[in-house]
Amino acid sequence: MGKKSLNLTDELYDYMLEKSLREPDILRNLREETGRMLMSAMQSPPEESQFIALLLKLTGAKRILELGTFTGYTTLWMAMVIPSDGKIITCDVDNKWTSIGSRYWEEAGVSHKIDLRIAPALNTIDKLLESGYENIFDFIFIDADKDNYVNYYERALKLVRPGGIIGVDNVFWSGSVIDSKNQGSDVRNIRQLNKSIYEDQRVTISMVPIGDGLTLAIRDF
């Protein structure tokens, strides 16, 4: 399992899952298979993925862009709730992890909704922009390499439709964003993006304390 939501005792976290998480067996199986892997901490926690799925249902989202697939757990959550004619473009740099998710997408009968692209996320975004995808997406989920977080956000603002939502994951970075002694490149990039989004009057925002921190930004222009 990925990192659970911050500042909850184990007991309260377990209670939240027990009384809130409605995770179909196929999603639980994918999460548990991922949890046995060395890089399992990269997986979003189930309560966050369920929240994103709820958000998609609430807004009626049909056109999704996901930057950072990993084993496709959140991808599957999203694919299972969008309409039959919905489409998710999801990208990652290596099919080592995505091939795991692909099995579950097929089993769940949602693979026709998922367009997996194996390439650096920045390349994928730029090709989408070149292909006329501006103002198209209802929801964009940014969960790829932190070096390009600022670049992803600025390009996402061109790709998401007016009134659409950009979700940025890992904005707490396990609490390191408030640790002045931590000046690693990842945390510095996240701090920079957090500041930029806060100051960006083009969007309406909320930083949600779920998982490792999730910022939601609605495009207002």
In this prediction the pTM is: 0.95
Q: Is the pLDDT of residue 1 over 50?
A: no
Averaged pLDDT for residues 28-38: 95
Q: Is the pLDDT of residue 62 over 90?
A: yes
Number of other residues whose CB lies within 10 A of the CB of residue 208: 16
Percent of the chain with pLDDT over 90: 95
Which sequence spans correspond to the domains of the chain? 10-219
Residue 96 confidence (pLDDT)? 93
Express each pLDDT in 101-115 by its tens digit. 999 999 999 999 999
Q: Is the pLDDT of residue 5 over 70?
A: no
Four-way CATH pick for 10-219: 3.40.640.10, 3.90.550.10, 3.40.190.10, 3.40.50.150: 3.40.50.150
Q: Is the pLDDT of residue 90 over 50?
A: yes
Residue 12's identity, in one-letter code, is L
Of 189, 195, 201, give the one whose Cα is nearest residue 215: 195
Residue 8 confidence (pLDDT)? 83
